[in-house]
Amino acid sequence: MVKKVLVDVDCGVDDAQAIMMALAVPDVQLLGITCVHGNTCVENVCKNVLRVLKVCGMLQIPVFKGVSTPLLGNTLNAGHFHGEDGLGDAPDPDAPGLELLQKEGAMSAIIRIVNENPGEVSLVATAPLTNLAMAVKLDPTLPQKLKGLYIMGGNMDSRGNTTICGEFNFAADPEAAYIVLNEYLCPTYIACWEFTCYSKLPWEFCDDWLAQDTEKARFMKRIFQHSIDSCYSERVEKELVAGQGFISCDSYAMAAAIDDSFIIESDHKAVTVELSGMHSRGMMVVDHLEMLQKTHKAYIMRKVDLKKLKQLFMNSLK
C-alpha cells in the first residue's frame, strides 16, 4: 500500500537527509513539501528543497513557500550549525531557481492536499510549526482528516539546545507549537531533542554512508561538511553533545512516518508548551501526573529500531 506523506521543513542539512530518505522508499508518495522559516530564511529553505529534489531527480514534486516569521517574538536561525544558507554554505551555481515554486501558498496547500486525501496523509513536521498552526486556524477540521502527525521538536527532560529549556523548533515559535500540540487531535508522534541524542549512530556508519559512489552521496558530503567541521568533529565527552555520534534529528520523525514498525518503545502522554516562563518559554511540558486532564495524548519516542534507520540512510544515497 502506498504511504502518502506531506512534509513541512525549514530545510537545513537534517531536513535534507529526511527528505532524501523518504524519496528512496518505493511505496512512499511524497505529495508535496511546504517551507517555513527556521534554520535559515524561508527563501533559502525553498531553494534548498529544490536543490535536494534536483539531485534526487524529483523536481516534479511540488514545493510551496510558507511563513517567514514566527507568530510572535523574534526569528531564530541555526546558521552556526547548518551554515548561513542552511545547506553548509556549499556553492551550487546550477541550483534551481525560485520560479519552480508553486504559486499556491503553504497553508492553502496543506489544507487542500489533506482534504483531497482524507485519512491517508501522514504529515511530517521537521521545522518550527508556524505553517501548521496557521493551517489549523484556517481549517479547524484539518487534524481529524490526517492519518498521523510526526513531529521533530520539543524535549522530554527540559533540556534545551537553543535556550536553557527549549529545543530549536519549539523555541523558534512557542505559540505555534502550543497551538499544534493542543489542536491537532490526531495520532501524534514526537521525536524530541534528547531522544535523538540518546539514539545516535556511530561515526563509522556515517563515514560508510557518505563514502557511497553516487552523486547523492557526494552532494550530502558537501552540504554536511560544515556541520561536521563546526560541531561533530570535536567529539567532546559531554552528556547529550552531538559530537559523540552521528545524529540526524529530523530523520527520526520521517522514519517513523514511513515505517510503522520503526518505533519500538514510546511514552503515551498529554503534552503542551510553556509560553510564559522566564527560562522555560518554548519548553515542551509532559504531563506525567495527568493534571492537564487532556484526552488527547502523544506518542513520545523512547526507543527505535536503529538497524532499520541505518538501512533507510544507506538507501537514501544509493
Secondary structure (DSSP) of 211-236 = TSSSHHHHHHHHHHHHHHHHTGGG--
Closest CA to 47 of 97, 13, 81: 97
Helix (H) or strand (E) holding 105: none
Kindly state the DSSP code that residue 140 receives in the 8-state scheme: T
Q: How high is the pLDDT of residue 238?
A: 38
Please, what are the domains in the chain? 3-316 (3.90.245.10)
The C-alpha atoms of residue 191 and residue 255 are separated, in whole angstroms, by 10
Count of CB atoms within 10 A of residue 40's CB? 22
The values of phi and psi at residue 128, to 5°, are -55, 145
Burial of 275 (0-12, 13-18, 19+ CB in 10 A): middle
| Residues contacting 207, CB < 8 A, separation 6+ | none
Q: 5-51, pLDDT tens digit by residue? A: 999 999 999 999 999 999 999 999 999 999 999 999 999 999 999 99
More confident residue, 246 or 265: 265
- Does residue 240 register a pLDDT over 70? no
| Average pLDDT score, the chain | 93
C-alpha cell recorded at residue 117: 486525501
Alpha helices in the chain (DSSP H): 13-23, 42-55, 79-82, 106-116, 130-138, 168-171, 174-183, 193-198, 203-210, 215-230, 249-258, 306-316
Residues in the chain: 318
The residues assigned a catalytic role are: 10
Q: For residue range 60-104, what is the model confidence (pLDDT) as tens digits?
A: 999 999 999 999 978 877 656 777 888 988 888 899 999 999 999
Position 110, amino acid: I
- pLDDT tens figures, 154-171: 999 988 889 999 999 999
CA–CA separation, 140 and 143 (whole Å): 7
